C-alpha cells in the first residue's frame, strides 16, 4: 500500500519555465490538498479538492493551478515559475471533511533559479 | 490573527524528562484536533488525534481545553528519537480545511 505518492522528488527550474507536480493516492480518499512549506512559515494551503472534478483555492493560490480529473490524482501546475515559488511542496489526502486526519506524501523539493 | 499558534521553541530537554507543548486556536467553533510530528526535511506524520476527554498513547498524552481554546501534548520519559518538530492541526466547523501551526521544535539531549 503506497499511500500518497508525489513525483518528482526534486526539481530545479529556471524562472519562467512551467512544470506539473503529480500527487497520487491509493486509499480512495475524497479530499486532496497541496501545501507549500517554507522555513519558519509552517504549512500553507495552496489549493484543495473535495472530490473528483472539483478544486478550490487555499491560502496562497496565486501562481498555481490544479486539476483533479481522476479521484486518485491531484496535479499542481506552475505556469511560469518564479524564485518565490522555491519551496518544499507536500500533497495530502483525507477520507472526509476533517473528522479523519490527513496522510502526506514525502514531498517535492523545488528550486527556481 | 493566525488560526493556530504555537511556541516555536526549541525546547531542549534531557533524556527521560517530561515536556509539554501548548497550541492555541482562534476559532471557538473548531471541531477536530490533531498532533503531527515532522522530522527534518520529511513529511508530517500523524502522532495522535485529540479527543474532548483527553487521550493517551504510550508516553504521549493529548488534551483539549475548549474554554481556553488550546490543545496540549505531554511527552513523558523523553527519548532521543522524540527530537522533531511537533505540529498542531485544527479543523474548522465546516471541516473543509486543516489549519496547521508553525510547529514546536523539540531537542532531546543525551
CB B6 within 8 Å of CB B102: yes
The answer, for B54 touching chain A at a CB cutoff of 8 Å, is: no
Closest C-alpha among A103, A108, A79, A33 to residue B44: A103
Q: How far apart are CA A19 and CA A2, in angstroms?
A: 24
Whether A107 and B43 lie within 8 Å, measured CB to CB: yes
Collapse the DSSP code of A84 into the 3-class scheme (helix H, G, I; strand E, B; otherwise coil) and give the result.
helix
Collapse the DSSP code of A83 into the 3-class scheme (helix H, G, I; strand E, B; otherwise coil) and give the result.
helix
pLDDT digits (tens, 9 = 90+) for A59-90: 899 999 999 999 999 999 999 999 999 999 99
What torsion do the CA atoms of A64, A79, A5, A106 make, to the nearest 10 degrees? -70
In which band, very low, low, confident or very high, does the pLDDT at B41 lie, cut at 50, 70 and 90? confident
CB A59 within 8 Å of CB A78: no
Q: Quickly tell me which residue has 503531527 as its cell.
A: B36
Collapse the DSSP code of A32 into the 3-class scheme (helix H, G, I; strand E, B; otherwise coil) and give the result.
strand
The answer, for A3 touching chain B at a CB cutoff of 8 Å, is: no
* Least confident piece of the model among A14-28, A81-95, B30-44, B87-101: B87-101
The DSSP line for chain B is: --SEEE----EEEETT--EEEEEEES-TT--EEEEEEE-TTS--EEEEEE-TT-EEETTEEEEEETTTTEEEEEE-S--GGG-EEEEEEEE-TT-S--EEP--EEEEEE-
Facing residue for B96 by CB, picked from A41, A50, A104: A50
- Give CA A51 to chain center in angstroms: 15
The answer, for B43 touching chain A at a CB cutoff of 8 Å, is: yes
Facing residue for B95 by CB, picked from A35, A88, A99: A99
pLDDT digits (tens, 9 = 90+) for B51-79: 888 899 999 999 999 999 999 999 999 99
Q: How far apart are CA A23 and CA A92, in angstroms?
A: 8
Whether A43 and B44 lie within 8 Å, measured CB to CB: yes
Amino acid at each position: 500500500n503506497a499511500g500518497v505518492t508525489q513525483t518528482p522528488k526534486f526539481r530545479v527550474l529556471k524562472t519562467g519555465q512551467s512544470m506539473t507536480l503529480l500527487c497520487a493516492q491509493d486509499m480512495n480518499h475524497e479530499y486532496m490538498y497541496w501545501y507549500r512549506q517554507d522555513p519558519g512559515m509552517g504549512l500553507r494551503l495552496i489549493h484543495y479538492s473535495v472530490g473528483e472534478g472539483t478544486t478550490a483555492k487555499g491560502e496562497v493560490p496565486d501562481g498555481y493551478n490544479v486539476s483533479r480529473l481522476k479521484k486518485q490524482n491531484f496535479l499542481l501546475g506552475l505556469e511560469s515559475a518564479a524564485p518565490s515559488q522555491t519551496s518544499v511542496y507536500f500533497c495530502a489526502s483525507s477520507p472526509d471533511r476533517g473528522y479523519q486526519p490527513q496522510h502526506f506524501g514525502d514531498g517535492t523539493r523545488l528550486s527556481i533559479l | 490573527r493566525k488560526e493556530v499558534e504555537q511556541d516555536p521553541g526549541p525546547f531542549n530537554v534531557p533524556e527521560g524528562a517530561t515536556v509539554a507543548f501548548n497550541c492555541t486556536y482562534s476559532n471557538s467553533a473548531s471541531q477536530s484536533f490533531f498532533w503531527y510530528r515532522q522530522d527534518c526535511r520529511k513529511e508530517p506524520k500523524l502522532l495522535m488525534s485529540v479527543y474532548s476527554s483527553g487521550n493517551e498513547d504510550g508516553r504521549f498524552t493529548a488534551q483539549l481545553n475548549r474554554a481556553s481554546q488550546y490543545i496540549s501534548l505531554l511527552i513523558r520519559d523523553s527519548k532521543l528519537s522524540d527530537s522533531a518538530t511537533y505540529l498542531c492541526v485544527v479543523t474548522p466547523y465546516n471541516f473543509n480545511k486543516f489549519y496547521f501551526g508553525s510547529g514546536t521544535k523539540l531537542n532531546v539531549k543525551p
